[in-house]
Amino acid sequence: MTAQPLASGQRAATDSSSPWTSEEGREFLQERLATFSRFIFFVASGVFLAVWATQLAWDPGALDHGLPIRASALFHLVAVTVVFTMWMVTRGGALSPGRLRLIESLGVFLISIALVGRAFTLSITLRPDSLAMLSLFVLLLYRSAVVPSEPARTARISILAVALVPVLTFIVYSRAARPDLPSPWLFTSFSLVFAVLAVTLSTTISGIIYGLRQTVREARKLGPYTLVEKIGAGGMGAVYRAQHALLRRPTAVKILPPERAGEMDLARFEREVQMTALLTSPHTVSIYDYGKTPDGVFYYAMEFLDGIDLNELVHRDGPMPPGRVVHVIHQVSEALAEAHRSGLIHRDVKPANILLSERGGKPDFAKVLDFGLVKSLSSSNAGTTERNVILGTPYYMAPEAVRSPDQIDARSDLYSLGATAYFLLTGKAVFEGTSADILAALLRDRPQPPSQRLGRPIPASLEELLLKTLAKHPDERPESMEAFGKALASCRDVTPWSEAEAAAWWQSRRSLIAAARSDSTDPATVPTISIGRNAPLPQEPGRTKIRNR
C-alpha cells in the first residue's frame, strides 16, 4: 500500500523494543515534554508574581526604595528561565529522542536545584526544608503523570532532584544553633522520609502510565506486525504503516474494522487479498501476508510505497504534459491488462488509486492500488456482491456501471483509465458537479475534447484515442486493455517523456512530495455511501454505492 498524501514522509524503520524510536513515539514525547514545561512555567511564574504582590501589599512603600533583590528571588527566576527555555525548545522543530531525553534530564535537574536553592535562602522560620520538598513534589509528580518515562529512569531523575534536600536540611539546622529547635537529625529524618516518598510516588506513577502505554502498543500488534501510524482509510478498511518483528522492509497493513466484519464484508475483504495476490505485474501493489488475530481482526500486509498519488499530484502541480501522461497511463494499462487476463476487473480505477514513486532507481514508477472493489469475471462472486448496486467513483465511472452495474466488464476499467488520463491532461474530470449531475451526464452528454477543456492543442492521436476510450458504449472503445496500451504507445505525435525529465521533476519537487505526504486530506478515503430510493445523492463525489430500485 502507500503513504499517499496521508503519510508523514520517509522515516526510519521502527525499533519495536522502544516506543521512542518511531516517529509517532518521538512526536508524542516531544509534545508531552512541551506540555510539562508550559505548565511548570506558568505555575512558577504565578508563584513568583504572587510573592511579589504579597510583599507589595505588606509593604506598599517598598517601591519607593526599590524592591530588594534577594537570593531566593534570583533562584526562582533561574527556575522560571530554565523551564521557559525548555518550553521554547520543545515547541519548535522536531528533535531526536536522545536530545529530548537530554533536555528533560538536564532541565529537571536544574529546575530542582533552583527550587531547592530558593527555599534554603529563606529564613529558617519559614521551614525551608518543607518548602523545598513541596516544590519538588509538584515538579516530580507532574512530570511522572505527563512525560512518558521508564520507571527506572524516573527513579534516577527523582533521586538526583531530591538528594540535596536532606543534606542542606542538616547543614542549615546545625548552623542555626538555636536551643528552641529540636535536633537537626529530626528535621533531616523528616526530609529523608519525604524524599523517599517523592521518589517512590513518582516512580510508581511512571510505572503505571508507562505500562498502560506499553499495553496500547501490544494491542497494536497484528500477528508479527506492529502498527506504527495510520496512513489512510477507505470503504473497506484502514491502512497503517507497520513494522515486521523480524524483517526490516517497509510494510503497510490493511485491516478490516470489527464493525465491518460482517459475512459479506469479510468475504469481499478476503477476496480482495486473494485476487490481488494472484497478480505479478511490477505495477500492481504486492501482497506479503494475510491473517486473523485471536480477537477476530482480519488484516493483510503489502508493500509500503513512498510517493504521491496522481490526484494529489495534479491538484498540487497542475496538468501533466502529454508525454508524461502516456508514460504513466501505459504502466497502469500493463497492470490492468494482467488483471483482465486473470479474469479480474478493478472497478475503481482513478487518479487517487495510482501512485507515482521512485522504485529501483527509476522515477515516475506507477503502482495500481486498492483492489477493494475487484470483481472476478469467471465467477458470480455469490454472497460478496450485491445485485443492482453501483460501485465506484462517479468522476471515473463508466456509463454501463450506471445503466446495468451487474453487466460491467474489462472495458469499464478501460473507460475509467481514459477518464483518469483526461484528468491528468486537463486537471479536470470529464464531467463535474454533484453526483446526480455526473451520473446524468455519463448517460447523456458527450465528453468535451481535452484540447478544448485545456484551452490549448494536444497531440491529435492522443486526443482521438482518449475520446474513443470514453465512448458511451463499450463496443465503441478499444477491444481490450492490451489494444489500448499498443495504441497509446503508437501515438507518434506525442513527445516522449524521458527518464532524465522524470528525474529532474522529482529532484525539483521534493517539497511538493513532502507536502503531499503530510497532508491529512485524501479524496480517495471518502466512505462508501449507500443511497436508497428517496435519499439525495452526495454533494461531493467520492467512491459511491448506489442501490438501484
Residue 397, C-alpha cell as written in the block: 465511472
Domain count, the chain: 3
324: nearest Cα among 285, 284, 366: 366
Residue 97, C-alpha cell as written in the block: 529522542
The yes-or-no verdict on residue 124 having pLDDT over 50 is yes
- Of 92-96, 187-191, 272-276, 418-422, give the lowest mean pLDDT range: 272-276
Place of cell 509517532: 24
As a whole number of angstroms, the distance between CA 279 and CA 505 comes to 30
| 327 shares a domain with 260 | no
| 159 shares a domain with 94 | yes
CATH number, position 500:
1.10.510.10
- Of 104-108, 164-168, 249-253, 313-317, give the lowest mean pLDDT range: 249-253
| 313 shares a domain with 299 | no
| 422 shares a domain with 280 | no
Please check whether residue 90 lies inside any domain of the structure: yes
| 360 shares a domain with 452 | yes
As a whole number of angstroms, the distance between CA 304 and CA 95 comes to 25
| 327 shares a domain with 266 | no
* Residue 252, SS3 per DSSP: strand
Please check whether residue 2 lies inside any domain of the structure: no
Q: Which residue has the higher pLDDT, 211 or 395?
A: 395
- The answer to whether residues 116 and 128 touch, using CB atoms and an 8 Å cutoff, is no
> Which of these is catalytic: 129, 309, 348, 370?
348
Q: What is the rounded average pLDDT of the residues 304-333?
A: 94
Please check whether residue 76 lies inside any domain of the structure: yes
The pLDDT score that the predictor gives to residue 538 is 32
User: What pLDDT band is residue 461 in, cutting at 50, 70 and 90?
Assistant: very high
| DSSP secondary structure letter of residue 528 | P
The yes-or-no verdict on residue 169 having pLDDT over 50 is yes
User: What pLDDT band is residue 477 in, cutting at 50, 70 and 90?
Assistant: very high
The reply to whether 348 belongs to the active site is yes
The yes-or-no verdict on residue 525 having pLDDT over 70 is no
The yes-or-no verdict on residue 455 having pLDDT over 50 is yes
The yes-or-no verdict on residue 323 having pLDDT over 70 is yes
Please check whether residue 5 lies inside any domain of the structure: no
> Among 39-43, 120-124, 245-249, which range has the highest average pLDDT?
39-43
As a whole number of angstroms, the distance between CA 219 and CA 365 comes to 35
| 333 shares a domain with 206 | no
User: What pLDDT band is residue 516 in, cutting at 50, 70 and 90?
Assistant: low
> Among 47-51, 302-306, 315-319, 340-344, which range has the highest average pLDDT?
315-319
Q: What is the mean pLDDT of the chain?
A: 80
Look at the pTM and tell me if it is higher than 0.85: no
| 185 shares a domain with 245 | no
Instruction: Write a three-state SS string for 351-414.
Output: HHHEEEEEECCEEEEEEECCCCCCEECCCCCCCCCCCCEEEECHHHCCHHHHHCHHHCCHHHHH
Q: What is the rounded average pLDDT of the residues 478-496?
A: 95
As a whole number of angstroms, the distance between CA 51 and CA 194 comes to 25
Which residues contact residue 330 at a Cβ distance below 8 angstroms, ignoring those fewer than 6 apart? 485, 488, 489
Residues 179-203: pLDDT tens digits? Answer: 767 788 888 998 999 999 999 999 9
- The answer to whether residues 484 and 466 touch, using CB atoms and an 8 Å cutoff, is no
Residue 1, C-alpha cell as written in the block: 500500500
Percent of the chain residues past pLDDT 90, beyond the cut: 41
The pLDDT score that the predictor gives to residue 286 is 87
Please check whether residue 1 lies inside any domain of the structure: no
Instruction: Write a three-state SS string for 19-38.
Output: CCCCHHHHHHHHHHHHHHHH
The yes-or-no verdict on residue 210 having pLDDT over 70 is yes
| 266 shares a domain with 202 | no
Last residue in a domain, options 193, 219, 245: 219
Last residue in a domain, options 219, 250, 285: 219
The yes-or-no verdict on residue 106 having pLDDT over 80 is yes
As a whole number of angstroms, the distance between CA 251 and CA 255 comes to 13
Please check whether residue 7 lies inside any domain of the structure: no
The 10 Å CB-count burial string (b at 16+, else e) for 483-497 is ebbebbeebeebeeb
* Residue 284, SS3 per DSSP: strand
| 488 shares a domain with 341 | yes
The pLDDT score that the predictor gives to residue 214 is 64
Residue 146, C-alpha cell as written in the block: 505527563
Last residue in a domain, options 303, 338, 370: 303
CATH number, position 255:
3.30.200.20
Which phi and psi (to 5°) does residue 243 adopt? -125, 125
Q: What is the DSSP string of 440-492?
A: HHHHHPPPPPHHHHHTS---HHHHHHHHHHT-SSGGGS-SSHHHHHHHHHT-T
Q: What is the rounded average pLDDT of the residues 324-328?
A: 97
The yes-or-no verdict on residue 327 having pLDDT over 90 is yes
- The radius of gyration computed from the CA coordinates of the chain, to the nearest angstrom, equals 33
Residues 398-454: pLDDT tens digits? Answer: 999 888 887 788 999 999 999 999 999 999 999 998 888 898 999 999 999 999 999
**Helices vs. strands in the chain: H and E counts, helices first:** 19, 14
The pLDDT score that the predictor gives to residue 257 is 64
| 143 shares a domain with 255 | no
| 149 shares a domain with 275 | no
In degrees, rounded to 5, the angle at the alpha carbon of residue 528 between the alpha carbons of residues 526 and 532 is 130
Angle at which helix 499-508 crosses helix 510-518, to 10 degrees, equals 60
Which residues contact residue 310 at a Cβ distance below 8 angstroms, ignoring those fewer than 6 apart? 328, 351, 352, 354, 355, 356, 420, 423, 424
Please check whether residue 46 lies inside any domain of the structure: yes
The yes-or-no verdict on residue 177 having pLDDT over 70 is no
Instruction: Write a three-state SS string for 438-454.
Output: HHHHHHHCCCCCHHHHH
Domain that holds residue 354: 309-547
Q: What is the rounded average pLDDT of the residues 341-369?
A: 90
Largest CA distance in the chain: 110
- Of 226-235, 343-352, 436-445, 524-533, give the lowest mean pLDDT range: 524-533
Please check whether residue 8 lies inside any domain of the structure: no
As a whole number of angstroms, the distance between CA 19 and CA 73 comes to 40
The yes-or-no verdict on residue 59 having pLDDT over 70 is no
